[in-house]
Structures are given as C-alpha cells and as structure tokens.
Amino acid sequence: MKPLYPLKLKPVFKEIIWGGQRLKQEYGKDCDFEKLAESWELTVRPDGMNVIENGPCAGSTLADYLDAPANGPAFPLLIKLIDACDKLSIQVHPDDAYAQAHEGEYGKTEMWYIVDALPGAKLVYGLKNYDKETFRAAVANGTLEDYMNEVEVKKGDVFFIPSGCVHAIGAGILIAEIQQSSNVTYRVYDYNRPGKDGKPRELHVEKALDVIVDYKPEDIEAIRFACGRSSTSLADCRYFAVDRYVVDGAPLTLSARDNFLHLLCLAGEGMVGDVAVKKGDSIFLPVGLDAVAVTGCGLELIASRAK
C-alpha cells in the first residue's frame, strides 16, 4: 500500500507561440522556454506526467503512485496555469461521444478562473448570431471575428466552458484551467499567424462545425452547477467540482477520504498537513487521506476533484 501524505507535484511545462514570462517571473516556474505558455499542475498523460517532489515517494511519477496507465485517458482531470501573453486561437472542444468516435480520447469540458488580467483584456466566450453556413463562410472570407462574443475580464472572474462552446483566451490574461484530461482541440481561426515551423497552424473547421453548440448563458450556468453549489463553489458539474478557499489565520480542514483533491496555490503561503506551500505550488491529496489541516497567511487555494 502506498503511503498517504500530501504530495507536492513537479509541473510539466509547455512552450506555445502565445506564451510569455509571467509563470517564471511571478510563480517561480523554473524553465528555460522563451514563451512559457502552460504549466501543467496535475497531469497523468503520455504528453505530460507529474513527478512527486517530497516524502517517501519522491522521484516517482504520479501515474506510478496511483497505479494508473500513463498511456491512456483513465485519469480524469488536467489542471493548468496558463499565461496568454498573446491571444489564443478561436477553438471548440467536442463532447465525449464525438471525441471517442473520432479521436479515441475523451471530450473536453473545462473552466477558467481568472488569476490576473491586464486592464481591458478580453475573452471570446460563445457566439453572436450563429448559423452554420454563415459561420463556414465567415471562416473562408476572414470575417469570423465579427461573430465572436467578446467579454472583458478581471481578476476573480470564472468562465465555465462546456464542450461545444466556442472560446479563446485573449492577450494579457493569466488563468487557472480545470478540465477533463483531454487534448482534443478544434481550431477554427488562428489570426493567420505562423506556428513554430513558420507555417500556419492546422485548422479543423468541419469537425468544429460538427460539435459547435450555440449556448445561452443560462444553459451554461445550469451545466456548471448541475450537481450543487456552496459558498466556496466555482463549479460542480458532472466532470469535476472546484472550490476556492482563502486561509488567513483560522485553519481549514480538507478531506480526500473518498476522492482525491488537488490544491493549486495562487497566492500567499502556509502549510498543507506538514508540507510547506507557497504561490505556484501544486499539492495532491490522495484518496483515503482525511482531515488534512491547512494553515496560512493570505493562502489562496483552488481545490479540484473529479466526479
């Protein structure tokens, strides 16, 4: 039986053309990438695997600790910190049925917690006046941005993105992303910019048109809180539950008795059990670990579990 204790996880870094420097400068991510776009804080995937940094299992992969397959989609969540120095492509993700039929992977429902945003920063969040043929024509003639619903954002905002919802992160936004463990993305527009090889990145227009859903705000909120809501809840849907806690003086008790719990530290410092944590740290509480004491000074935690 593996020892039960709070596991400090080493992140996995991803360099993408729209990334920046903030994760290195502000969150202590030790990385040589010029454009550090993503820090994968919880991942059990063949394209990214956390390693345990502390305790008797230090040096082991999270997959080995969990006895989970590293080459399959068995682990349910992928959690990232994202630095969008430039805007991301306009994209959409399929649901489970479509993704499994066409990609051999799960679909992707996700949520964004806005960690920070420059004044005036915006997201693409859904569509305006959607019609499939009009959308296809807009892609062809370069007017797609006219049909995007743009939303100005600020620190602390939450955006829930069910599969089928067209979206894009704008420039100047730092995000904590909680999602199904899937990397299936259908790009519909990438601002005609070159990728790392100098060529335009691949678009997936027809697949995107297969899966786009013209969501209304009330539809998204119903999905976001389909399983309940509390004073700390950011989302509680069929795939994950996410809460935000601020620990500043009075201690907090957390439990992973029946399900794992992942803690992403966005600010402050403190202790999770006997493990010291600070801004940028990632802690995994394995199943069976109950009544974990959390103390801190201005300690902001995003706590996520799979459903």
Amino acid identity at 213: V
Q: Do 132 and 218 belong to one domain? A: yes
Q: What domain range is 260 assigned to?
A: 240-306
The pTM score is 0.95
**At 117, is the pLDDT very low, low, confident or very high (cuts 50, 70, 90)?**
very high
Ranges of H-type helices in the chain: 22-27, 62-66, 96-102, 132-141, 205-211, 217-224
Residue 233 domain-assigned (yes or no)? no
Q: For 26-69, what is each residue's pLDDT tens digit?
A: 999 999 999 999 999 999 999 999 999 999 999 999 999 999 76
Q: What is the CATH number of the domain that holds 290?
A: 2.60.120.1030
Amino acid identity at 85: C
Average pLDDT over residues 171-180: 98
- Report pLDDT for 194: 77
- Report pLDDT for 197: 78
Instruction: Please say if 187 is a catalytic residue.
Output: yes
Give the span between the Cα atoms of 142 and 136, in whole angstroms: 10
Q: Do 277 and 131 belong to one domain? A: no
Residue 230 domain-assigned (yes or no)? no
**DSSP codes, 46-112:** TTEE-EE-SGGGTT-BHHHHHT--TTSS-S-EEEEEEEESSPPPEEE---HHHHHHHTSS----EEE
113 to 73, 298, 303: CA distances (angstroms): 24, 18, 12
Q: Do 178 and 293 belong to one domain? A: no
Please say whether the dihedral angle defined by the alpha carbons of residues 88, 79, 114 and 32, taken in this order, is positive or negative: negative
Catalytic residue of the set 187, 224, 244, 305 = 187
